[in-house]
Amino acid sequence: MMGALGMQGRAESAEAMTRLGCAAAGDVTAGAVIALVGGLGAGKTHWTKGLVAALACSLDVTSPTFSLVHEYRGGRLSVFHFDFYRLESAAEVLALGWDEYLDAGGLLVVEWADKFPELLPPEAIWLRFVVEPDTARTVERIG
């Protein structure tokens, strides 16, 4: 479905992390689900910001932690950005309309996806974000 090489890499700054997400845009197709895992502050939201800027013609991607799901429509692909961090149960995610988002033909990006891995479809692309000792971040595909 997609070559994940462009999604991976090393970023020395927040801006570089945004560029890495931007570079991933060429690799994604309609209906793809991208599951992001990694510790607090590992760069997941910055990566997503770059991806959305490239795909959905929107520059304003803030953390969805406060609104639970952000929708970016009108670009080459619609992007639906979830963050499971503050959600308590898989049932809560389902109540947000999870199944409809999966069927919407856009792109789903999910921060803290490993909190409810059972919700992610088998074809999901899993990316792990790691904070390196020198404070740079790396992104690698793990599934």
Ligand X SMILES: Nc1ncnc2c1ncn2[C@@H]1O[C@H](COP(=O)(O)OP(=O)(O)OP(=O)(O)O)[C@@H](O)[C@H]1O
Binding residues vs Mg ion (CB under 5 A): 44-45, 63, 111
Phi then psi dihedrals of residue 36, to 5 deg = -105, 130
Shortest distance, position 58 Cβ to ligand X, whole Å: 16
> Among residues 76 and 86, whose Cβ is nearest to ligand X?
86
94 binds, among ligand X, Mg ion, none (CB under 5 to 8 A by kind): none
Q: Please tell me whether residue 95 binds ligand X under the rule CB under 6 A.
A: no
**Contact residue for ligand X among 21, 43, 50, 106 (CB under 6 A):** 43
What's the CA gap between 93 and 23, in Å, rounded? 29
Q: How many residues bind ligand X (CB under 6 A)?
A: 20
- CA-based R_g, the chain, Å: 14
DSSP 21-79: HHHGGGG--TT-EEEEEE-TTSSHHHHHHHHHHHHHS------TTTTSEEEE-SSSS-E
CA atoms within 13 A on the CB side of 44: 27
135 binds, among ligand X, Mg ion, none (CB under 5 to 8 A by kind): ligand X
Give the H or E element holding residue 98: helix 98-102
Site for ligand X in 14-33 (CB under 6 A): 14, 16-17
**Contact residue for ligand X among 7, 32, 55, 111 (CB under 6 A):** 111
Give the footprint of ligand X on this chain (CB under 6 A).
11-14, 16-17, 38, 40-46, 63, 111, 129, 135-137
